[in-house]
């Protein structure tokens, strides 16, 4: 049963046949979540009016019932709610989490690690997988370095395009992508289960700046969770060239000549509060759905 993780209101439940290995969507919003700080525009006012549910920050959970383990892709500011959801509705194995895979050092993707620290859980050696620059950043900057010195986390270094094998045959491959790498490199992940595979790229500057072809990469997997931070240019009252992301309209154009089967693999995620497709329903969202693309919803399950 699909359940909404948000604390505001429930979304529609959908019956799902969960396999022994699957992904579940723990959040769909950009780093600052939804509603957004200091936003009084219509995009967030609909939440305060009771017409839209809270959206947690973009995150995927990986559940391996065969191996009795659960993992998360990114540690968000909503780590408390997201980890509890995994335990309560998916797998209670006595561990807060069996491993965390970090994409990069922007606030929505790693700051949830603080809840493992001395002032909060006081966890013991939670495995956290990260790239070399990310490791240097965590080890050499407080308060994150205390997580290492207090043995709250156990760092496992990742290598670009190098397969890591987990229990029960699950394979995780980090893929470096171009992004604003002020403090660390940025990666997406290819996640291979026993039967199906997924691609998770919540942040990238532009698809054409990547050395790989996103269309071809999507064709290799069964599900592709892709960056949909902004719907189109001009969405913000800021110079959007300084915060590059693929506009949803750019991504759909890249796939316009592909088969409906390929389009169905694309699942948009990581929505900024200003992106109208973060809402439960919107005519622009309908227009994209009608083309064959999909949108991630909190609580969704995807069998691997």
Alpha carbon separation from 16 to 2, 82, 184 (Å, rounded): 7, 19, 37
Question: Helix, strand, or coil here: 55?
Answer: strand
Per-residue pLDDT tens, the chain, 304 aa: give them.
Answer: 345 555 433 333 333 456 799 999 999 999 999 999 999 999 999 999 999 999 999 999 999 999 999 999 999 999 999 999 999 999 999 999 999 999 999 999 999 999 999 999 999 999 999 999 999 999 999 999 999 999 999 999 999 999 999 988 999 999 999 999 999 999 999 999 999 999 999 999 999 999 999 999 999 999 999 999 999 888 888 888 888 899 999 999 999 999 999 999 999 999 999 999 999 999 999 999 999 999 999 999 999 9
Going by C-beta distance under 8 Å and a sequence separation of 6 or more, which residues neighbour residue 168?
A: 20, 21, 64, 66, 67, 194
* Lookup result for tokens 């094998």: 165
117 token code pair: 């620290």
Cα 182 off chain centre by = 20
Q: What does residue 247 show for φ and ψ, rounded to 5 degrees?
A: -65, 145
Rounded-to-integer distance, Cα 67 and Cα 218, Å: 27
DSSP per-residue codes, 46-91: HHHTTSS--B-BSEEEEEETTTTEEEEES--TTHHHHHHHHHHHT-
pTM of the model: 0.94
Rounded-to-integer distance, Cα 100 and Cα 68, Å: 15
Instruction: Go through the domains of the chain in sequence order and give each one's CATH number.
Output: 21-303 (3.60.15.10)
Going by C-beta distance under 8 Å and a sequence separation of 6 or more, which residues neighbour residue 244?
A: 180, 205, 206
Longest dimension (CA), the chain: 53
* Lookup result for tokens 């979540």: 33
Rounded-to-integer distance, Cα 224 and Cα 294, Å: 10
Tally the residues of the chain. Answer: 304
């Amino acid at each position: 049963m699909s359940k909404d993780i948000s604390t505001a209101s429930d979304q529609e439940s959908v019956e799902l046949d969960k396999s022994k290995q699957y992904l579940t969507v723990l959040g769909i919003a950009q780093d600052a979540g939804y509603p957004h700080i200091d936003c009084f525009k219509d995009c967030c006012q609909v939440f305060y009016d009771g017409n839209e549910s809270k959206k947690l920050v973009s995150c995927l959970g990986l559940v391996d019932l065969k191996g009795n383990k659960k993992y998360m892709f990114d540690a968000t500011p909503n780590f408390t709610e997201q980890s509890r959801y995994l335990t309560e509705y998916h797998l209670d194995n006595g561990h807060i989490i069996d491993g965390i895979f970090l994409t990069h050092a922007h606030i929505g993707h790693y700051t949830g690690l603080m809840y493992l620290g001395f002032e909060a859980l006081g966890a013991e050696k939670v495995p956290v997988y990260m790239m070399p620059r990310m490791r240097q950043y965590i080890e050499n900057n407080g308060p994150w370095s205390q997580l290492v010195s207090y043995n709250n986390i156990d760092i496992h270094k990742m290598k670009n395009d190098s397969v890591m094998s987990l229990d029960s045959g699950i394979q995780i491959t980090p893929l470096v992508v171009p992004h604003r790498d002020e403090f660390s490199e940025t990666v997406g992940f290819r996640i291979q289960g026993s039967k199906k595979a997924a691609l998770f790229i919540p942040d990238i500057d532009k698809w054409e700046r990547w050395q790989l072809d996103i269309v071809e990469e999507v064709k290799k997997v069964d599900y592709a969770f892709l960056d949909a931070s902004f719907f189109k240019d001009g969405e913000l009252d800021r110079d959007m060239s300084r915060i590059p992301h693929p506009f949803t309209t750019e991504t759909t154009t890249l796939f316009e000549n592909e088969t409906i089967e390929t389009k169905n693999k694309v699942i948009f995620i990581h929505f900024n509060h200003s992106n109208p497709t973060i809402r439960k329903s919107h005519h622009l969202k309908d227009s994209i759905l009608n083309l064959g693309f999909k949108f991630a919803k909190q609580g969704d399950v995807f069998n691997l």
